[in-house]
Amino acid sequence: MTFAKMISKKTLTAAVAAAGMMVPLAAEAKDWRGWNIHVEDYPVSHGMEAFMAEVTEKTGGELKGKVFHSGVLGSQPDAIEQLRLGIIDFGVFSLGPMGQAVPATNVVSLPFIFKSVPQMYEIMDGEGGEALGKALEEKGIVALGYYDAGARSFYNSIKPINAPADVAGMKVRVMNNDLFVGMIEAMGGNATPMAFAEVYQSIKTGVVDGAENNPPSYESTSHFEVAQYYSMSQHLIIPECLCMAKKTFDALTPEQQEVVREAGRNSTALQRDLWQKREMASMEIVKAGGVTVNEIADKSAFQAAMAPVYETFLADNPDMVELVDLFRNAE
Ligand code: BDP
């Protein structure tokens, strides 16, 4: 009896299939999964695609992966947890919702902590970004660069906001972080933390009266169609982080890690450039779409209204006084 006849055809097929599957798995690293909350045509999305493409090219295809846009891999708070576990390999996260997992990052969610976007760049590319990078790393996240997300302003379906008192009684959607609830309450409004993906319907059906965001997000989500008053309070400048799972990063060779870091720096420069252009384009789109935009030249009343947010935060987090001072006392 020949060997082939000794084993059934079925067993042989299974064995060949198993061997066939095992070989590539053992020889190649798994494909990375990149989480992105934004639509494909968005500065963050282009930055992420460029990052992945550069890593693949410079490692001769050893490292590859895919960016999943439009939040299909889950909401931001869920994705942060998955990143920490290495289920998601990389992504661009707002440091707003990041505060729940990495408390030190809350410092950038304090209203008016940065004096301007250029100042934010300076602090995040220096000591401030370094301090937050360390805190992120302790929670399993490697920061590769800080993207621009401009400044967030209020929009709603009722009326222009010119003073904090105009927010009183309004139902305002905020990102998932208690600090933002405190911020709205400090102006007498009702805050509703809610996932990004739910905001459009919620404004449309009146569950909330409005929300707050930067021009590209206000435009790309079509929120401007259902909330036609955009009031340039610019109360929050929250940078975003091109982040990698430490689990994934630590498994790389030192050479691969250097490639990843360099691609991170390059994609950050690209994203910041694209951001500036998109902000202007988005303002044009929303104005053409019927939005009433009002500038708020003097923001001091809003700044004054935020005092309780700082007081509560510092009272609850005495260990963060130094970090807050590093940011707020910067020139
Ligand atoms: C956008 C951020 C995104 C947030 C979103 C939000 O880029 O990460 O999820 O705001 O408001 O500006 O939820």
C-beta of residue 36 within 8 angstroms of C-beta of residue 91: yes
The alpha carbon of 5 and the centre of ligand 1 are apart by a number of angstroms equal to 63
Identify residue 186 by its one-letter amino acid code. A
- For the chain, percent of residues with pLDDT exceeding 90: 91
Alpha-carbon distance of 150 to 93, in angstroms, equals: 14
The alpha carbon of 165 and the centre of ligand 1 are apart by a number of angstroms equal to 25
The token duo for 147 is 């993207």
Closest CA to 307 of 117, 153, 111: 111
**Which of 72, 196, 236 most suits a substitution to test ligand 1, by most atoms within 8 Å of the C-beta?**
196
**Which of 44, 72, 175 most suits a substitution to test ligand 1, by most atoms within 8 Å of the C-beta?**
175
**76 CA: nearest ligand 1 atom:** 9
Confidence (pLDDT) at 63: 98
Strands 210-213 and 152-156: antiparallel
Identify residue 37 by its one-letter amino acid code. I
CB neighbours (10 Å) of residue 220? 19
> Is the pLDDT reported for residue 7 higher than 90?
no
**216 CA: nearest ligand 1 atom:** 12
pLDDT in tens, 153-177: 999 999 999 999 999 999 999 999 9
How close are the terminal C-alpha atoms of the chain, in Å? 87
pLDDT in tens, 44-93: 999 999 999 999 999 999 999 999 999 999 999 999 999 999 999 999 99
E runs forming strands in 69-137: 90-94
**94 CA: nearest ligand 1 atom:** 8
> Is the pLDDT reported for residue 23 higher than 50?
no
Look at ligand 1, atom 13, and give the residue with the nearest C-alpha.
196
Is 9-106+115-148+238-280's fold the same as 152-237+281-328's? Answer: yes
Identify residue 25 by its one-letter amino acid code. L
* Mean predicted confidence (pLDDT) in 88-106: 98
C-beta of residue 139 within 8 angstroms of C-beta of residue 102: yes
Which pLDDT band, with edges at 50, 70 and 90, does 26 fall under?
Answer: very low
**196 CA: nearest ligand 1 atom:** 13
How far are the Cα atoms of 5, 51, 290 from residue 117, in angstroms, in the given order?
A: 74, 23, 27
pLDDT in tens, 216-272: 999 999 999 999 999 999 999 999 999 999 999 999 999 999 999 999 999 999 999
Q: What share of the chain is helix, strand, coil (3-state, %, to 5)?
A: 55, 15, 30
**195 CA: nearest ligand 1 atom:** 13
* Minimum mean pLDDT range among 5-14, 179-188, 292-301: 5-14
Q: What average pLDDT does the chain have?
A: 93
Identify residue 312 by its one-letter amino acid code. T
* CATH homologous superfamily for the domain 152-237+281-328: Bacterial extracellular solute-binding protein, family 7 (3.40.190.170)
Which pLDDT band, with edges at 50, 70 and 90, does 15 fall under?
Answer: very low
Which pLDDT band, with edges at 50, 70 and 90, does 29 fall under?
Answer: confident
Look at ligand 1, atom 1, and give the residue with the nearest C-alpha.
217
Confidence (pLDDT) at 28: 62
Domain boundary assignment for the chain: 9-106+115-148+238-280, 152-237+281-328
The alpha carbon of 196 and the centre of ligand 1 are apart by a number of angstroms equal to 6
Confidence (pLDDT) at 8: 44
CATH for 9-106+115-148+238-280 is 3.40.190.170
H or E element, residue 244: strand 240-245
Instruction: Report residues whose beta carbon is within 6 angstroms of any ligand 1 atom.
Output: 37, 76, 94, 149, 175, 196, 213-214, 217, 240
